[in-house]
Each structure stands twice: as structure tokens, then as C-alpha cells.
Amino acid sequence: MNNPDLALLILRVSFGLSLAFHGYNKFSGSAGISGTGGWFFNLGMRWPSLQAKTAATTEIVAGLFVASGLLLWPSSVAFIALMTVAIVTVHWRVGYFIFLPNGGWEYCAAIMSVATVLGMLGGGSYSLDHQLNIDVNYGLWVLPAGVVLALCHLAVSYRPTQTK
């Protein structure tokens, strides 16, 4: 049985809920949101508490939107931006592979790829966008839009400590 709409539904729900739980963990994990803020501080973020809350909330909201297929294009842009920031601030210096100590950028790149494809294809007929007749889709522009947003955010708010 070849059903692209069902395939998109399965991908959206599994991907969206996984990322929503990732954001929820920033709030409720062992160190809570204050621990996430402390980690952001150590990364060199200028407003670590606010940025931790914003990142966690974005992951939850965009994840639920992706799962439901509501406003899929802007939600995909949000995930691309989040993963670009994660790559630049944490994972790039480690290397590509996720199994390296401190985790490389492989997983973030996979999330960006899925978000790009979902943003390009839309949610299919089993999505809220389809049911509400919302057609917000700019195709491949989802990827550069997310990267540009991330780079703007980093230019304003990322001040890594210099190691000598």
C-alpha cells in the first residue's frame, strides 16, 4: 500500500513528539530549566535563562505543531534554527559523529534534514494545515530561512569564552 499522506503522518507525529519531549525535558529534567539556563550560560549565551526558556518552549510548541501538521513550514524553520544554534555552540567542535565524546553534530543534521523535507512537502492530507486550508509553504527556502534566523540570533546573543 503506497500512501504518502500516511507516511507523512507517521513521520510528523514521531518527529514532532520526540522534539516536544526534548523541550519538555529542558524544563523538567534532573536540573530543570535553571540547569538548562546554567548550561546555556557556560556555552556563552548572553541571556541564558531567557534563552533556555525560549528554546524549550519553542521545541515543545513547534514539536506539537509538527505532530499535528499545523503551521508546518514555520515550525520546520524553528527546528532548523534551533539545530543550527546547537551545532555552532556545542557540536561542531566535537566533530560529525554522535558517538564521539560530548556528541557530534550528526543528530542535529538529521533533525535539520527531516525538518527541511517536512517544510518542503507540507503535512499531507492528514494534517491540520490541510483541514484548515492553510497553505504556508515556501519550499526549499525553509532551510536558508532557519539558518539565517539562527545566525542572526548567534550574532546578537552568543559570546563564547576565549580559551588561551
DSSP string, 46-108: SSHHHHHHHHHHHHHHHHHHHHHTSSHHHHHHHHHHHHHHHIIIIIGGG-S-TTSTT--SHHH
Read off the pTM.
Answer: 0.92
Asked if residue 162 belongs to a domain, the reply is no
Q: Which DSSP category does 162 fall into?
A: P
Asked if residue 104 belongs to a domain, the reply is yes
Asked if residue 14 belongs to a domain, the reply is yes
pLDDT of residue 135 exceeding 90: no
Quick one: pLDDT band at residue 163, thresholds 50, 70, 90? low
What digits encode the pLDDT tens for the residues 97-109? 999 888 999 999 9
User: How confident is the model over 56-74, as a mean pLDDT?
Assistant: 97
Per-residue burial over 142-159, b = 16 or more CB atoms within 10 Å of its CB, e = otherwise = bbebbbebbeebbeebbe
Q: Does an H or E element contain 119, and which?
A: helix 106-121
In one letter, which amino acid is 47?
W
pLDDT of residue 153: 96
Asked if residue 163 belongs to a domain, the reply is no
pLDDT of residue 29: 87
Residue 130 phi, psi (nearest 5): -65, -45
pLDDT of residue 87 exceeding 70: yes
Number of domains in the chain: 1
Query: What range defines the domain where residue 52 resides?
Result: 4-157
Helix then strand count (H, E) for the chain reads: 7, 0
Asked if residue 72 belongs to a domain, the reply is yes
User: How confident is the model over 26-42, as a mean pLDDT?
Assistant: 93
Asked if residue 164 belongs to a domain, the reply is no
Quick one: pLDDT band at residue 164, thresholds 50, 70, 90? very low
Quick one: pLDDT band at residue 94, thresholds 50, 70, 90? very high
pLDDT of residue 43: 93
pLDDT of residue 81 exceeding 80: yes
Quick one: pLDDT band at residue 25, thresholds 50, 70, 90? very high
- Please tell me the distance from the alpha carbon of residue 28 to that of residue 156, in angstroms, as a whole number: 28
